[in-house]
Amino acid sequence: MRDILARWERLGYRMENAVEVPGSASRRGGILDIFPIGMDRPVRIELLGNKIDSLRFFDPSTQRSQEQVGAVEMIPAREMLV
């Protein structure tokens, strides 16, 4: 998990307590949240050990998980954020 977070930081994502805006990410136990640049909603990655258990969109205002998503394309945030 540390490798994933370090990679996201190298891509320009900011680690926050809660993911609310594009370009931010957070970790709470076995849950990783990220708001990829170019997407209209953030994604919640629930891990079971080292494997992804679920990948879902979530509402940034309520932090509640929504529908499942099959894949997420990550593009660097550092080139898009001011």
pLDDT digits (tens, 9 = 90+) for 16-34: 999 999 999 999 999 999 9
Residue 32: name the closest of 22, 23, 42, 41 by CA: 42
Percentage with pLDDT > 90 across the chain: 80
pLDDT for residue 36: 95
pTM to 2 decimal places: 0.89
Residues in the chain: 82
Q: What is the pLDDT of residues 33-58, one digit of tens each?
A: 999 999 999 999 999 988 999 999 99
- Is residue 82 over pLDDT 70? no
